[in-house]
Amino acid sequence: RWIADNTNPEGLTGTLKEAVHDADVFIGVSAPNVIDGDDVAAMADDAIVFALANPDPEVDPAVARRTAAVVATGRSDFPNQINNVLVFPGVFRGLLDAQSRTVNTEMMLAAAKALADVVTEDELNANYIIPSVFNDKVAGAVAGAVREAAKAAGVTA
Residue 147 above 80 pLDDT? Answer: yes
User: Domain check: are 9 and 69 in the same one?
Assistant: yes
Q: Using one digit for the tens of pLDDT, what is the confidence trace for 55-90?
A: 999 999 999 999 999 999 999 999 999 999 999 999
User: Domain check: are 11 and 67 in the same one?
Assistant: yes
Partners of 70 in the β-ladder: 48
C-alpha gyration radius of the chain: 18
Q: Which of 50, 126, 146, 134 is nearest to 85 (CA)?
A: 134
Instruction: Indicate the number of domains in the chain.
Output: 2
Q: Using one digit for the tens of pLDDT, what is the confidence trace for 83-129?
A: 999 999 999 999 999 999 999 999 999 999 999 999 999 999 999 99
Q: Which of the four pLDDT bands, split at 50, 70 and 90, describes residue 4?
A: confident
SS3 content of the chain, % helix, strand, coil (to 5): 40, 10, 50
User: Domain check: are 7 and 69 in the same one?
Assistant: yes
* Residue 49, SS3 per DSSP: strand
In terms of Cβ atoms closer than 10 Å to its own Cβ (0-12, 13-18, 19+), residue 60 is buried
The reply to whether 129 falls in a domain is yes
- d(C-alpha 125, C-alpha 128), whole Å: 5
Are 104 and 156 contacting, i.e. CB atoms less than 8 angstroms apart?
Answer: no
Partners of 48 in the β-ladder: 25, 70
Residue where a domain terminates, one of 53, 73, 93: 73
User: Domain check: are 51 and 112 in the same one?
Assistant: no
The reply to whether 78 falls in a domain is no
Q: Which of the four pLDDT bands, split at 50, 70 and 90, describes residue 9?
A: confident
Residue 1 above 90 pLDDT? Answer: no
The reply to whether 79 falls in a domain is no
Look at residue 12 in the predicted model and tell me its pLDDT: 86
User: Domain check: are 63 and 103 in the same one?
Assistant: no
User: Domain check: are 42 and 100 in the same one?
Assistant: no
Q: Which of the four pLDDT bands, split at 50, 70 and 90, describes residue 51?
A: very high
Confidence (pTM):
0.85
Domain that holds residue 49: 2-73
